[in-house]
Amino acid sequence: MTEKEGAKMSDILKFSIPGKPEYIQMVRLAIASIAGKANFNVDDVEDIKEAVSEACKIVCCHGCLGLSERYEIVCEVEDDKITITASDACTGNKRHEQEKRCCNSCPDEGSLAMPVMEALMNSVSLEFDAGKNKKIKMVKHK
């Protein structure tokens, strides 16, 4: 079977981001640009941006332990959907010098981040590996 006969093609973009809250805005804008180029409507692009922001906060933040040294974003664009995976790629955490909490926008226990992402995207899953690293996978259909 040829590609034209049934296999869907997808574009995969990968980002490796330092675990600093100031880079979340850059990730939001990059993913929004990708979604716009993939012909998602304006409302969907805004939903995707907000969901990505929440996912970055969750994988980056380790509460009082500090921020992930790095986290990764993988964005897979297909004809009918976009899949975004945010994962904690660190082997250690850096404490924020200014406060006990690592950033002002860290998700707390019982935070609304997951319900917000679930409301904005078609599917959301959160997993933890043996090292307590987090992985969030989100899908938005056109």
How far is 63 from 93, CA to CA, in rounded Å? 10
Give tens-digit pLDDT for 30-55.
999 999 999 999 999 999 999 999 99
- What's the pLDDT at 100? 42
- What's the pLDDT at 29? 96
- What's the pLDDT at 94? 58
Contacts 24+ apart (CB under 8 A), 31-39: 31/73, 31/75, 31/84, 34/75, 34/77, 34/82, 35/82, 35/140, 38/77, 38/82, 39/142
Per the listing, tokens 């040829």 go with 2
- What's the pLDDT at 48? 98
- Please name the residue ranges forming H helices in the chain: 24-37, 42-60, 113-120
Which CATH number does 9-141 carry?
3.30.565.10
Break the chain into its structural domains and give their ranges: 9-141
Per the listing, tokens 């979340």 go with 24
**Is the pTM higher than 0.85?**
no
Amino acid at 30: A
Instruction: Tell me which residues of the chain have a pLDDT lower than 70.
Output: 1-8, 62-66, 90-110
